[in-house]
Structure 1
């Protein structure tokens, strides 16, 4: 709301405006390297009008990790604008609403405002007609976003003039909005791929050919995927069951999970077969690309060639078999639903080793399958699948490779069997870009949002929220609430 005042005096009688800090147009703003401007030097700039001043401040905020909002203004009795305030988007406080009204429960909204005092105030100098910065406070009461995330904030979302014009022309041609956005994304991806080798100096790839010079195997990973592996590569899922290219070559995807509990891709390969030598070559390339770092745990679907190569190339990694594949194999090999149910309990039950052994032999003898070769083989491999024997090993929540199959369903949206080798790699890399963008969005949600508290011990709950990412905290919060409730109930009983 505008506040009318009778008189607005300038801060100084003679400002002595420095021509080197003169901003008259958007062209002047474009020429400024905001990354190199010190916060204390911003107050030296002066502007031809208030809109130019706001555009300047908004572009400055983009490089600092927040966005600017227009706040208070002042006018004279004659209606002449004399003063304007631009504040941080987290200025002020969100009103506390009652989320429980009768039987209706409103979904809690994250607290995004925290009373930040960062502000830029501009005033109009009467004699010169220029706007100068009369007050500038740049210390924030909240963490600032990584500059790569500020593009997700509402005030920094924009399209280039060329993209807008292209979009209008395509719409006039009868193309739907969804198809237009897809076409623009494709163009951006192709341009990125053309410059990939130049712009991504950490990109790694290698290939293997036979005696005739025919390409047999191809391995590749980009720099960001290599950086992800350095952080999250302790658990590696190794899946080679997916075929979606013109030559029906298996696609091998090395994947893992990040600190948002999202599936991420570390590397990929197209191979000609699933032989031991092929898998061994792949794991050797993996070690080279990842600077020799070996995973702590590896999850596979039980392929024997995979098992052999993992033991050779990653001898210290703990190999876990996919629970889903084992349950399916129990059904196909024994054919008794009740046995499958008991087998699942033995596999996933958090038993001590002695209890597991007792339940296993009771189950085997009860169904009369003690001489079945599959049963004997499973018991020999119990250190690769039974919770009782793998307790204390780190698997980042992995029990099955079904999460890999979920990743394959995402890949299916980008590639199909009509693509040749070059097209397949290009569109697969688009899929990897999409996965990495989801990670950036999750980073933004964790940094910019605050989860709603559900306990009376809010200090304890907030300390957990500060340590975890938003996704992990929401997984942990019910456990914390139950534990606190039990503790509170125990305390009440003592009273």
Structure 2
């Protein structure tokens, strides 16, 4: 074996090689407990695991995959349809978010890339409809979440994205949106581990 190389060696290679990325049973038990009973997001789980297991190195994608597995097999989380809403001072509906159990499963299985776009106030109440889409293993678009909001501000987008995290306990690996500055800010504030891409052509549902 030669100890001379014409390229730099990465001293942390063992952290990223697949054969060294096995998650211990104790850590898996903690993740399962956090997922099924604590309703904790991936960001919160990562911080708790780092504090309790300081010598364990877990990649975000590995943690996300484990959370996804426990989430899908948790009957408790698939029995009900998550619905979130907010009213203004006059008891008028200003925000509404919902996901069906089937949509949660699709999100968890195909959250590598999530697309988001709003309709231009085409419903009878003239308020934006926010749609979340993903592509399944048959290259079909799947509607995985939806929300109605009275405006398109950063605060509203933070609320919507927060609802997706609460319902699925995961963040997209890649989040595709149009060039809206309000969305850009909300993504950075709410999706801690997500990479953002700009939508150049609207999907045909």
Residues 122-137 of structure 1: pairs in structure 2 closer than 5 A = none
| Aligned counterparts of 2:85 and 2:119: Cα–Cα separation in 1 | 20
| Aligned counterparts of 1:233 and 1:205: Cα–Cα separation in 2 | 20
From 152, 171, 184, the counterpart of 1:274: 152
The aligned counterpart of 1:215 is 93
Deviation at 1:309, TM superposition (A): 0.3
From 187, 200, 205, the counterpart of 1:310: 187
The aligned counterpart of 1:202 is 80
The aligned counterpart of 1:339 is none
The aligned counterpart of 1:294 is 171
Unaligned runs of 5+ in 1: 1-199, 325-399, 408-495
| Aligned counterparts of 1:315 and 1:289: Cα–Cα separation in 2 | 16
- Aligned-partner SS, 1:277: helix
Deviation at 1:314, TM superposition (A): 0.7
The aligned counterpart of 2:130 is 252
- Aligned-partner SS, 1:207: strand
Deviations 1:395-415 (A, max 9, x none): xxxxx4x22xx12xxxxxxxx
Deviation at 1:202, TM superposition (A): 2.6
| Aligned counterparts of 1:202 and 1:235: Cα–Cα separation in 2 | 25
| Aligned counterparts of 1:245 and 1:307: Cα–Cα separation in 2 | 25
Contact residue 242 and residue 252 of structure 1 kept, 8 A: no
Larger radius of gyration: 1
The aligned counterpart of 2:141 is 263
Deviation at 1:233, TM superposition (A): 1.2
Deviation at 1:284, TM superposition (A): 0.7
| Aligned counterparts of 2:84 and 2:153: Cα–Cα separation in 1 | 18
| Aligned counterparts of 1:251 and 1:242: Cα–Cα separation in 2 | 8
Runs of 4+ in structure 1 off by over 6 angstroms are: none
- Aligned-partner SS, 1:285: helix
> How many pairs align?
128
Deviations 1:249-286 (A, max 9, x none): 11000111000101001110111000111111111111
Deviation at 1:242, TM superposition (A): 3.8
1:285 partnered with 2:163: yes
Using CA pairs below 8 Å that are at least 6 residues apart, which structure has the higher relative contact order? 2
Deviations 1:169-208 (A, max 9, x none): xxxxxxxxxxxxxxxxxxxxxxxxxxxxxxx833111101
Contact residue 217 and residue 271 of structure 1 kept, 8 A: yes
The aligned counterpart of 1:103 is none
Deviation at 1:243, TM superposition (A): 2.8
From 100, 113, 119, the counterpart of 1:241: 119
Deviation at 1:244, TM superposition (A): 2.7
| Aligned counterparts of 2:127 and 2:167: Cα–Cα separation in 1 | 22
**TM-score, normalized by length of structure 1?**
0.25
| Aligned counterparts of 2:135 and 2:97: Cα–Cα separation in 1 | 21
1:225 partnered with 2:103: yes
